[in-house]
Amino acid sequence: MTVLYITQREAVISKAYEAFEITLKQADGSWKKSTIPVQTVNQIVLFGNPRLTGDALMYALELGITVHYLSSFGKYLGSTLPSCSRNGQLRLAQYQCYQDADRCLHLVKTIVAAKITNQYTVLYRRGYRSISLKRYKSELQKQTNLEQVRGIEGTAAREYFACWPTLLGDEWGFRGRYRRPPTDPVNALLSFAYGLLRVQVTAAVHLAGLDPYIGYLHAVTRGQPALVLDLMEEFRPLVADNLVLTVLKNRELKRQDFCDSLGAYQLTEGARKTFLEAFEKKIQDEFQHSVFGYRCTYRRAIELQARLLARHLQEGVPYQPLVLR
Amino acid sequence: MTTLFYLIIYDLPDTKAGNKRRNRLHKLLSGYGKWTQYSVFECFLTATQFTKLQVQIEKLIKPQEDSVRIYVLDAGAVRRTLTYGSDKPRPDKVLII
């Protein structure tokens, strides 16, 4: 389970027999070559626009490697997927559930409840007890339509982020979640972390053979991979939020690691590497899985959740989101 | 999936054909692991990956002339490994470039 991240703009990735060769531009303008044991890689994540030759791309697909493209800001742009699972039966089950309002509502409530529990846990572990978040959970069960559930999710999220300035202290100037564009360093970091998480969830959804565009909590509108966003919800607090809070608390990133361009903040090149390393460490963190009982990494847990959702859709096994205490 | 540590060392004759095979073997192994010293590769592979490599090695080399030795080590053996002047063998979980 190795992930290859390429963050250098001037990189050229080509195939050299069974390996990949990466040509990097050095500070003095010369080019340096190095080989990568690509046989042991499962995912390639490209930032900005490094060049991947046709040969290399074809070979990656042959080996079953997924290639993900992100902008240099960390925004998810798309993926090239090996032809693994195209499970027609599963997709039909997914559409059937979408047509069934009651099943839909039940599933969405489970997902939102898990997200709120996980948000509560994030705050609780850092010594902050937000009673109102717990209240939203019981209120959730009384709701009778999707719109109301989405409303509660939004209100809970606002309350949750309202607790963040106390956790972070004044120096970061965090005043709430702003996405387009992220207007302060913390928001920039959150957006980046969510982008990286989305890569993992997208890969898991495709691996399980689900249709990324038919979701339940998120509206099915043009260009929105609703199911990916649905599955992401329970992991947002567990992976991304926890990571951002830890990185800032441990002072792994400082104010000068961010640069401001036209009101939008982003990470500088060196800091991005630091954050990627921290993200990889986090996603390969092992914990005791609450449903299966064995130790697994977050990356594996994401895949398990996608498969659990598939089981739920096809066989009616109750969907249990990942909740940690 | 569990990975084992494979230490692969090789010795191929210094003839024209031998050099060619050695070159090709080097390129093949570069796809699977880390080139640590002359004619030494360290690979962390799953059973499937190793089988693939094994097939390719067997297709490439000539057992009458060449010698390739593969030592298969488990996690305990890797932990007890001693190194002087270089890093201990460790699987790459992430490559950031």
pLDDT at A20 over 60: yes
Question: How many CA atoms does the CB half-sphere of B63 hold within 13 Å?
Answer: 4
Band (A59; pLDDT cuts 50, 70, 90): very high
A300: phi then psi, degrees, rounded to nearest 5: -65, -40
Q: B70 is written with which tokens?
A: 């593969």
Question: Rounded to a whole number, what is the distance in Å from the CA of A31 to chain B's nearest CA?
Answer: 14
Chain A residues touching residue B94 (CB < 8 angstroms): 2-5, 276-277, 280, 284
Band (A263; pLDDT cuts 50, 70, 90): low
The pLDDT of residue B95 is 74
pTM for this structure? 0.68
Question: How many CA atoms does the CB half-sphere of A233 hold within 13 Å?
Answer: 27
Q: What average pLDDT does the segment B90-95 reach?
A: 76
Question: Rounded to a whole number, what is the distance in Å from the CA of A305 to chain B's nearest CA?
Answer: 18
Best of A39, A275, A298 to disrupt the B interface by mutation (most B CBs within 10 Å)?
A39
The pLDDT of residue B57 is 92
DSSP helix/strand/coil, A79: strand
| Alpha carbons A304 and B1: distance in angstroms, whole number | 15
Band (A73; pLDDT cuts 50, 70, 90): low
Q: What average pLDDT does the segment A187-199 reach?
A: 86
The pLDDT of residue A86 is 60
Residue A62 has a CB neighbour count (10 Å cut-off) of 9
Band (B51; pLDDT cuts 50, 70, 90): very high
| Burial class of residue A196 in the structure, from the number of CB atoms within 10 Å of its CB (0-12 exposed, 13-18 middle, 19+ buried) | buried
| A239-248, A262-271, A309-318: the lowest-pLDDT one | A262-271
Per DSSP (E only), the strands in chain A are: 2-6, 12-16, 19-25, 31-36, 41-47, 51-52, 66-70, 76-80, 258-261, 264-267, 286-288, 295-297
pLDDT at A105 over 60: yes
The pLDDT of residue A84 is 62
The ipTM assigned to this model is: 0.77
Q: Which residues are CB-contacts of A268 (< 8 A; sequence separation ≥ 6)?
A: A257, A258, A259
DSSP helix/strand/coil, A85: coil
Band (A76; pLDDT cuts 50, 70, 90): confident
DSSP helix/strand/coil, B34: strand
The pLDDT of residue A268 is 74
Chain A residue with the nearest C-alpha to that of B97: A6
Q: Which long-range contacts (CB under 8 A, 24 or more apart) does A156-161 make?
A: A156/A112, A156/A115, A156/A116, A156/A119, A157/A119, A159/A130, A159/A132, A159/A133, A160/A119, A160/A122, A160/A123, A160/A130, A160/A133, A160/A237
Query: Residue A130's Cα: distance from chain center in Å?
Result: 25
**Chain A to chain B Cβ contacts (< 8 Å):** 78
Chain B residues touching residue A70 (CB < 8 angstroms): none
Contact A300, A200 (CB under 8 A): no
Nearest to A22 among B24, B94, B97 (CB): B97
Residue B11 host element (H or E): strand B4-11
The alpha carbon dihedral of A133, A242, A77, A298 has a sign of negative
Question: Rounded to a whole number, what is the distance in Å from the CA of B93 to chain A's nearest CA?
Answer: 5
Band (A57; pLDDT cuts 50, 70, 90): very high
pLDDT at A256 over 80: no
Q: What average pLDDT does the segment A296-310 reach?
A: 83
The pLDDT of residue B32 is 92
pLDDT at A85 over 60: no
pLDDT at A133 over 70: yes
Percentage of chain A lying above the pLDDT 90 cut:
3
| Alpha carbons B43 and B9: distance in angstroms, whole number | 11
